Amino acid sequence: MKKAKKQVGIVGFGAYIPIHRMQKKVIGQMWGSIGGRGEKAVANWDEDSLTMGVEACIDSLRNFERDRIAGVLFASTTPPFREKQSASLIRKVLDLPSDSLTVDFANSLRGGTLGLRMAMDAVRAGSGANYLVAAADLRVSAPNSTLEAEFGDGAASLLIGNKDLLVTINGHYSFTSEFIDTWRRDRDAYSQRWDDRFVLTEGYRRLMVKALKEFFKKQGTGPKDYTRAALYAPNARSLSSVAKATGMSFSEQLATDLLDRVGDTGSAMALMMLVEALEKSQAGDRVLLAGYGDGVDVFDLTVTDKISQYKRGRGVEKHLASGMPLKSYGRYLRFRDLMEWEFDRRAPDRTSLPVLYRESSQIYSLHGGRCRQCGVIQFPIQRVCTECQAKDDFDEVRLSETRGTVFTFSMDERAMVPDLPNVLCIVDLEGGGRYFSVMTDRIPAEVQIGMPVEMTFRRIHDGLSLYNYFWKTRPIRA
């Protein structure tokens, strides 16, 4: 008698889309072409795949006890470090247990669904009750290329567990392929792709259709058995061709705003589409998920009745609703550092690895100190309380999810930063304490005293040939 497999599924989900959006016609105007319809999401100059992954993880963890997470699996074809794990830093930023398993999935657009497969197997094997799977990409294409308008930036996160399931995983199917369509060598600055007709017809469409048909046969299902489908696609036309070839309805099962409003987000694309589908789903809906890149992963999912009680974060829907137009192609070039700029007269940025090591809980996890005698919160942590003068008598508290209001601010129009003016602010935190910060993702004319703000993890500089990160503030994304 076969032993029944442990039930496993999704217990939380979230996403992140940068606030900046650039109309594709802006790109076309720069190069004297049409540019295409819709827009693409553009990460700010202080964002990368790691910071976007952090945002998506926070979005999926809003109502979850962090000490119950056994591991972080992070997928990206554009990790900030070639030799240093990103998942370990994400674990620290999220303030997860130090004995968590951390794994990076790099080099393949299929990394997000490969991470899902590994997390699913780990939970079933009893290696841990809950695993966090995140995928993020910030791919850069050559200026005036087809991919420039097609690529967008974004991230998604799934929390995989075995209790209180929002979505059950009924089955899966995978195969690998050596087909080369999009690639980037270790020496290349830009992603490259062969002729579109060959790549999309002989590669994407053929392999995706083959995988879906094999999966339907294995599961004993058909295309009409699924309420919604979340399939990776580089563009809407390619997705429509797969729908037609497999008998699915593009308008009813595959409807998505992501390709025309965000773009192809690489390894995050399939998971972002899944989050978008789950936001529209109700109990009993069956969802088909497929990731593509060096092969295909397919999953059969069923939404449970717990979905109606789930307190969602911003996800795809609310992030899409809060956008800020990037009207200048020049600002885009500056954000991506795609030109040789005027000689920088500043002293080089510096950092200290001993300080990063010693103060990691404050720098990465944003821990402040709460005085045990009077309850006042201080950041950075002080030995002596500024309120009651108690010495070395405090508890560390996480401030990364704390909101606040602007107490005062200044704007520097001559600062050497990619996006002027440089807005510095002092924030009164909810629950007490003050925080000095750079404000990002802001419209300078709208910054004012009393403005509500929230924390966001960003890259600050590249001192010591090392990407340095810290927490900034931003206006709360409504």
- Domains of the chain, residue spans: 9-336, 353-475
Summarised one tens digit per residue, pLDDT across range 413-471 is: 988 888 999 999 999 999 888 999 999 999 999 999 999 999 999 999 888 889 999 99
Summarised one tens digit per residue, pLDDT across range 13-44 is: 999 999 999 999 999 999 998 878 899 999 99
The parts of the chain modelled with pLDDT lower than 50 are 1
Per-residue confidence (pLDDT) for residue 5, from 0 to 100: 67
Backbone angles phi, psi at 434, to 5 degrees: -125, 155
Q: Which of 211, 436, 280, 305 is nearest to 9 (CA)?
A: 305
Pairing of strands 452-461, 404-412: antiparallel
Instruction: Please list, residue by residue across 460-471, b when 16 or more beta carbons sit within 10 angstroms of its beta carbon and e when fewer do.
Output: bbeeeeebebbb
Average pLDDT, the chain: 94
Q: CATH number of 9-336: 3.40.47.10, 3.20.20.450, 3.40.50.620, 3.30.420.40?
A: 3.40.47.10
Contacts of 344 (CB under 8 A, 6+ apart): 416
List Cα–Cα distances, 305 to 237, 287, 416, 424, 430, in angstroms: 34, 14, 53, 46, 35
Per-residue confidence (pLDDT) for residue 1, from 0 to 100: 43
Q: State the DSSP code for 286.
A: E
* pTM beyond cutoff 0.75: yes
Per-residue confidence (pLDDT) for residue 345, from 0 to 100: 73
Per-residue confidence (pLDDT) for residue 111, from 0 to 100: 97
Per-residue confidence (pLDDT) for residue 40, from 0 to 100: 97
Strands, sheet with 71-76, edge to edge from the N-terminal-most edge strand: 101-106, 71-76, 130-137, 154-161, 9-16, 167-176, 295-303, 286-292, 228-231
Q: Which two tokens stand for residue 51?
A: 């910071």
